[in-house]
Amino acid sequence: MKDAPHARDEILARIRKNLAGAKVPPLPSAAGVPGSPKSITTPSERLDLFVRSLEAVSGRVHRVRSVERAVRAVSSILEETGAHELALSDGALTQQIARKLSSAVATFDGSADRTRCLRAPAGISDAQWGIAETGTLVLESDAERHRLVSLLCPLHIALLRASTIVGSLGDALAKVARERPEAMSRAVTFITGPSRTADIELTLVVGVHGPQQLHVVLLEEG
């Protein structure tokens, strides 16, 4: 396949010609963007806002105080939905919890076995960050292979440490930014509730292409 060799140069030349002599207005500072949530300075305020925001978009939140309790929470979510098979990410918390699940749940590496992942009833991953402002989970591909297990199955369980919840979208963007662009995760996925559509008469339907249910197990340690 051959692109026209001069397309790039010609487009840039057109742009430069049409911008010749244009006044360049200053670029506003990116600090202190208007509309950041106010008065959520303490971790517990961030946590409360996160839970409220996520529940407002039909996400389910399970607050636990230890890894053992997290295992129990995951087990009961699976029981409740009748899922006996669970696609795993390679996230640290996910792996830790998967090892402690009952043998009645068949676990497997979700990103290695795509065919199985496509049929599995449930997937589980960590989430690297939470955003209080919107109830959003942030998943970074450098931390774990999250792209398939958080998307393909009807149920997605995400494990989040309460200490990683930040206040605003801007705070989360600062967390995923790196010194050099090459060091950024190849895929950063922001997830706010289950997959949804309103394309038929604006009627809300959940679970169109992605998960129908999103459960977040929130680990509040010490």
Partner 1 sequence: MIAHLHAQEFPERARDALTDGPLRQAIARATDTIGDRRAKAVLEIPEWEELREQARAVKAHTLARLDHYLLQFVGNAERQGIVVHWARDHAEACSILGDLAAAAGAHPIAKSKSMVTEEIGLNRVLEERGLRPVETDLGEWIVQLAGEMPSHIIVPAIHKSRQQIADLFASKLNVDRTEDPAELTRIARRILREEFVDAGLGISGVNFAIAETGSILLLENEGNIRLTTSLPKVHVAVMGVEKLLPRLADLEVFLRLLPRSGTGQRLTTYQSLLTGAKRRLGDEGPEAVHLLILDNGRSSMLRNELERETLACIRCGACLNACPVYRHVGGHSYGSVYPGPIGAIVTPQLAGIGAAGELPFASSLCGACRDVCPVKIDIPRMLLRLRARAVAPSPGESARPRPWSERLGFRLWAWAMTSASRYRLTSRLARWFHGPLVRFGPLRAWCADREPPRPAPRPFRDLWEKGSIQ
R_g of the chain, CA atoms, integer Å: 21
Q: Nearest approach, Cβ of 79 to partner 1 (angstroms)?
A: 24
The position carrying tokens 């942030």 is 138
Q: Nearest approach, Cβ of 72 to partner 1 (angstroms)?
A: 28
- Which of 134, 164, 219, 171 has its CA nearest to residue 31? 171
Q: Nearest approach, Cβ of 192 to partner 1 (angstroms)?
A: 5
Closest to partner 1 by CB, 25 or 222: 25
Q: Nearest approach, Cβ of 222 to partner 1 (angstroms)?
A: 31
Closest to partner 1 by CB, 32 or 222: 32
Strands 136-140, 122-126: parallel, antiparallel or unpaired by DSSP? unpaired
Closest to partner 1 by CB, 86 or 101: 86
Q: Nearest approach, Cβ of 28 to partner 1 (angstroms)?
A: 5
Closest to partner 1 by CB, 3 or 103: 3
The two three-digit tokens of residue 98, written as one number: 């998967």
For 130-178, the DSSP string reads EETTTTEEEEETTT---TTTTTSSSEEEEEEEGGGEESSHHHHHHHH--
Q: Nearest approach, Cβ of 221 to partner 1 (angstroms)?
A: 27
Helix axis angle, 92-100 relative to 67-81, nearest 10°?
70
Closest to partner 1 by CB, 34 or 82: 34
Closest to partner 1 by CB, 70 or 153: 153
Contact 204, 196 (CB under 8 A): yes
Q: How many residues does the chain have?
A: 222
How many Cα atoms are found within 13 Å in the side-chain-facing hemisphere of 217? 26
